[in-house]
Structures are given as structure tokens and as C-alpha cells.
Amino acid sequence: MGPPGVGKGTQAERLGNYFSIIHLSSGAILRNEISKRTELGIKAKQFMDVGKLVPDDLLLNMMENRLVQKDCTKGYILDGFPRTIRQAEGLEQILINQDQELRGAINLFADEDALIQRLILRGQSSRRRSDDTPDVIKNRQRVYWQQTAPLLDFYRSRKQLLKVNGLGSIEIITQRIIDVLNE
């Protein structure tokens, strides 16, 4: 978990490699649905284009279908999901059904201005995404603080929140995450 631009995607991919488990990004799954022009992709695009969250029902359905697949039995790292309390509750239920347990919710935190700068730079690079424009970035930040930040309390109250400083080199941040997971 963490605000847009904090490096969730980069770190989730590295952790997936380190632990030899699959890395699942809800945003990447949605972008794939959009490129295939599926019904889900067409519905999701309207929300993603303006930086809003895709409705919970669509997301939960999509993630549940993904998490019951065979390659998830060994474990997985989630990136970008859950993003609302309702999604977190849905994930709890999926885990119960699959007889799995949450190891922890990693909260990458960083100064907001530094993150906006990072996203604007990504918007000018080859990794550019159509939602990396200044207006949409601002909206995604706002949505994070309004709808996703309450999840920090959700996981804190369950003693599952692992806080990690998200500023520093990519390698150092990966090591910090591995360290809190091993504590």
C-alpha cells in the first residue's frame, strides 16, 4: 500500500522475484483488459482515465477469479489491491475460502511532493501511462487519501500493517521491506 508514485509496482515485482512468488497488480490486470477491449476493460477505462477507482464489485470479481488460479496456491504479492475497506473485507473472505493467511500489509510512505515529481517524470518517460498527466495524478492522489488511506487503520488494528520508508534507492527499499517481513 502507498500513494501513487511511491514505487509499489517496482517493489512488488522485485519482491515477487525474491520470494519466487507471483506478483499481481490490479492496475496491470485492468490495463490488459482495456487493451483486449473486454467488457470489464471498457467499463474500467472510464474510471481509470480520470483517476477514479473502478467500482468495488468489478474489482472483487476480477481479483477473486485471479486468486483462485493454480499459480496462486504458493502465495502472491498484491500491488494496488485492496484499495477500499470493502475490497479489504472481500480479500479477507477470499483468503478464508482458500485457507490462506495474510503475511502483512506493507505500507510504503513518502513525502507527497516528491511523489508528484516522480510521476510527472514517469509521464515523460518510456514507461508513460495514459493516467500520468498532472490533472489525473492530482485526482489519483486525492482518491488515495480519501478512499485508500483508511485501510491503514484497518490493517493497523489487525496488527498486520508493516510501515516502510519509501524514499531511497530501489535496492535499499527492497531490503527494508524484506527486513520488516523477517522481523
| Interface residue list for ligand AMP (CB under 6 A) | 4, 26-27, 30, 47-48, 51-54, 59, 80-83, 87, 131, 140
Bridge partners, 165 (sequence order): 109
Rounded Cα distance between 133 and 41, Å, is 20
CB 165 → ligand AMP: shortest distance, Å?
A: 20
In the complex, least distance from residue 103 CB atom to ligand AMP, rounded to whole angstroms: 19
**Which helix (H) or strand (E) element contains residue 108?**
strand 105-109
> Looking at beta carbons only, is 112 or 175 nearer to ligand AMP?
112
The answer to whether the CB of 167 falls within 8 A of the CB of 111 is: yes
- Which CB atom, from 30 or from 67, has the smaller least distance to ligand AMP? 30
Largest CA distance in the chain: 44
In sequence order, the 6+-apart residues with CB closer than 8 A to the CB of 61 are none
Residue with Cβ nearer ligand AMP (52 or 175):
52
Other Cβ atoms within 10 Å of 169 Cβ, number: 8
Nearer to ligand AMP, 160 or 175 (CB): 160
Q: Are 167 and 110 in contact (CB under 8 A)?
A: yes
Sign of CA dihedral 164, 148, 27, 121: negative
Active-site residue numbers? 8, 83, 122, 129, 140
Give me the least distance between CB of 72 and ligand AMP, in Å please. Answer: 16
Smallest gap, in angstroms, from Cβ of residue 86 to ligand AMP? 10
